[in-house]
Amino acid sequence: EPEVTQTPSHQVTQMGQEVILRCVPISNHLYFYWYRQILGQKVEFLVSFYNNEISEKSEIFDDQFSVERPDGSNFTLKIRSTKLEDSAMYFCASSEASGADTQYFGPGTRLTVL
């Protein structure tokens, strides 16, 4: 069964550094998402992406964040200047369609900002 994959599994960075988190969505899916989960808390929506542009974003997704689909398979989340409070698990997800359609989550990237 196809799965969403993410790399790296764990990223440690210094405050102020840029990080890029990578995701490979399921191949026939058209909608891509990033969520984050601070340790012990609920999963929070960051951004959704369709047809090479952002379709929705939350208030968490400020100017420090950007997303890109650099090629036909990868979907990336960039954090320009990391802050301590960016430390969290970041999940990528994908779905075939929008709206009421099943979203499949990747295994996550644990980001630790020191």
Binding stretches for other proteins (CB under 8 A): 31, 33, 35, 41-45, 48, 50, 55-56, 58, 91, 95, 98-108
CB of 49 within 8 A of CB of 33? yes
d(C-alpha 83, C-alpha 91), whole Å: 18
Distance of closest approach, residue 111 Cβ to other proteins, in angstroms: 14
Question: How far apart are CB 102 and other proteins at their closest, in Å?
Answer: 6
Q: For residue 50, which amino acid is it?
A: Y
Query: Residue 83 CB: number of other CB atoms within 10 A?
Result: 11
Least Å from the CB of residue 56 to other proteins = 5
SS3 label, residue 60: coil
- Give the burial class of 72: count Cβ atoms within 10 A of its Cβ; 0-12 exposed, 13-18 middle, 19 or more buried: exposed
Question: Cβ 97 to other proteins, closest distance in Å?
Answer: 9
Closest CA to 92 of 64, 112, 111: 111
Nearer to other proteins, 49 or 113 (CB): 49
By beta-carbon proximity to other proteins, the closer residue of 10 and 83 is: 10
Residue 18 or 24: which CB sits closer to other proteins?
A: 24
Q: Which is nearer to other proteins, 82 or 94 (CB)?
A: 94
